[in-house]
Chains A and B, each alone.
Chain A
């Protein structure tokens, strides 16, 4: 059996700039991810609010366009504010509770990544953090494939845990294989 992943004590938030802005637009503001189930005080009508702030790219980003775009200053301000007030505390809560529940796992020996799911069903990819580099969040999202009639908080957690479990199992196999190869090389 492989050793559990080592989740560093201090995990940094998503890097500032386009990646952070895009994640807020794509995930926090995507209705089907139902962040309102898990974020206290999250404003309603997030899309309309973003459009009013000049985030005209929201629909393109949510449809899947990842092209880097210029973001209006008023939009950038809103995205930063919502990241700090709503998105970051929630994905960081997922990191913390994943640690407590043992739901943090390396994604394979050469990935340099850990995959986590906390008690709020936020799926988080973080760097492992080695050579004194800090561990950092690379992506944080919720499952968004449930039809509206099945929108219940526990369903989102179950779906997230299914993905986590599948990736964990595949990476366990990859880690075991890498260890076996290493043992072979080290044996006389």
Chain B
């Protein structure tokens, strides 16, 4: 194949620019991530049969970038994508940006050998996009272009394929049914998949977290000690630290860490906590001492008063397979 696809030549040109910039003033985290994205795009294109080589020295740049890059939080990418899919702003603006962000994250994950993470991200993004074909239908031409430099093995391939076919899907959905019918089976399945794929509970009212609402005060409010339950999530104190127990639905197992998302009006952060103890029916993660959580919030730049602070616990799930032990 030729090397004339604009996606490839643009990546090569931009890499050269970043290489020169790196030589002049080093790579900041965002620029380092961009290097990873561009290198990964070229790797994808090579896998799809294009000539998309790196110049001498660019492999070294990629190695440096891998240690300096700030990787995005997939949960935030998905939340942003979902909000924009449900909105009505022009799809060529922020919505297309959000799809490119998911693409970049999955592309980098693939290149770094984190195929499972890439597939999970794309699966969740794809499920959301599939529910809103009318929102992305206009982006079909751009999606087709992106697909030209992807092999079917790339994790993000299915997402752009969904976008490319969305216009046809959207037309099918707005046509009147031949006979009155409920939601299509595929739509019901997608909805069910989304609902079953993650536990998300708001634990903002937990007495244990009360001191975090006065994060900048020299002396925090005394935490309550009683266990707080919200849906599948319990928050309790043990050995002086806050622990979270997430009950697992039958036939499900956890994927990844327990996440605590902290948000306040215009910004949010997500902290991951490794699963410390688990059984078939529940997992437990240790969030640490209340004072440690206050300190983390302080370091993140949250300041008092935080009356509108919100804490969400979430855990991704997948089906238990027969071969799981």
Known: A111-B138, A167-B96. A66 touches B89 (CB 8 A): yes
Q: Are B266 and A32 touching (Cβ within 8 A)?
A: yes
**Interface: B239 (CB within 8 A):** no
Q: Is A158 an interface residue (CB 8 A)?
A: yes
- Does A153 sit at the interface, judged by CB under 8 A? no
In the complex, B83 has a CB within 8 A of chain A? yes
Q: In this assembly, does B75 line the interface, its C-beta being within 8 Å of a C-beta of chain A?
A: no
Binary CB contact string for chain B from 60 to 86 against chain A (1 if under 8 A, 0 otherwise): 000000000010100000011011101
Picked from A141, A155, A169, the residue with its CB within 8 Å of the CB of B6 is A169
Binds B, one of A36-44, A56-64, A75-83, A96-104: A56-64
Contact of B10 among A107, A108, A165 (CB under 8 A): A165
**Could you tell me the distance in whole angstroms from the C-beta of B75 to the nearest C-beta in chain A?**
13
CB distance from A128 to the nearest CB of B (A): 12
Given the complex, which residues of B lie within 8 Å of A123, measured CB to CB?
A: 93, 97
Contacts of B83 in A (CB 8 A): 63-65
Residue in B closest to A174 when the chains form the complex, CB atoms: B141
Q: Are B142 and A174 in contact (CB under 8 A)?
A: yes
Contact B34 A148 (CB under 8 A): no
Give chain B residues whose Cβ lies under 8 Å from the Cβ of A150.
28-30
Q: How far is the CB of A36 from chain B (nearest CB, A)?
A: 13
Instruction: Report the minimal beta-carbon distance from B9 to chain A, rounded to whole angstroms.
Output: 8
In the complex, whether A110 has a CB less than 8 A from a CB of chain B is: yes
Contact check, B267 vs A31: say whether CB atoms are below 8 A apart.
yes
Main secondary structure of the interface of B (DSSP, over half): helix
| Residue A170, interface by CB 8 Å | yes
Interface size class of A (residues with CB under 8 A): 35 or more
Q: A113-B90, A150-B29 are in contact. Are A47 and B97 (CB under 8 A)?
A: no
Partner of B87, one of A64, A110, A148, A162: A64
Cβ of B92 within 8 Å of any chain A Cβ, yes or no, is yes
Q: Is the CB of A66 within 8 A of B144?
A: no
A173 located at the interface, meaning its Cβ lies under 8 Å from any Cβ of chain B in the complex: yes
**Contact residues in A for B141 (Cβ distance below 8 Å):** 108-111, 171, 174
Tell me which of A125, A166, A167 contacts B90 (CB under 8 A): A125
A146 close to B30 (CB less than 8 A): yes
Q: Is the CB of A107 within 8 A of B142?
A: yes
Q: Are B6 and A108 in contact (CB under 8 A)?
A: no
Size bracket of the B interface: 35 or more
CB of A90 closer than 8 Å to a CB of B: no
Interface residues of B in 5-31 (CB under 8 A from A): 5-7, 10, 14, 28-31
Using Cβ atoms and an 8 Å threshold, which residues of chain B touch A167? Answer: 92, 96, 100, 142
In angstroms, Cα B260 to Cα A80, docked, is: 38
- Residue from A47, A62, A66, A169 in contact with B7 in the complex, judged by beta carbons closer than 8 Å: A169
Q: Are A148 and B97 in contact (CB under 8 A)?
A: no
Residue B180 CB within 8 A of the other chain = no
Report the separation of the CA atoms of residues A33 and B59 in the bound assembly, to the nearest whole angstrom. Answer: 34
A146 cross-chain contacts in B, Cβ below 8 A: 30
Task: Determine the distance from Cα of A125 to Cα of B90 in the docked complex, in whole angstroms.
Answer: 8
In the assembled complex, B94 has its CB within 8 A of some CB on chain A = yes
Assess the A138–B90 pair: CB atoms within 8 A.
Answer: yes
Measured between C-beta atoms, what is the minimum distance from B90 to chain A in Å? 4
Q: How far is the CA of A156 from the CA of B86 in the complex (A)?
A: 25
C-alpha gap A95/B267 in the complex (Å): 28
Among B142, B144, B148: residue with most chain A CB under 10 A: B142
Nearest B-chain residue to A1, judged by Cβ:
B6
26 residue pairs of the A-B complex, CB under 8 angstroms, read: A31-B266, A59-B265, A63-B83, A66-B86, A66-B88, A107-B142, A108-B142, A109-B141, A111-B138, A115-B92, A123-B97, A138-B92, A139-B92, A139-B93, A145-B101, A147-B70, A155-B28, A162-B34, A170-B142, A173-B5, A173-B145, A174-B142, A174-B144, A174-B145, A177-B144, A177-B145
Residues of A near any B CB (own CB < 8 A):
30-32, 47, 59, 62-66, 107-111, 113, 115, 123, 125, 138-139, 141, 145-148, 150, 155, 158-159, 162-163, 165-167, 169-174, 176-177
Chain B interfacial positions (CB closer than 8 Å to A): 5-7, 10, 14, 28-31, 34, 70, 72, 79-80, 82-84, 86-90, 92-94, 96-97, 100-101, 138, 141-142, 144-146, 148, 265-267, 301, 308
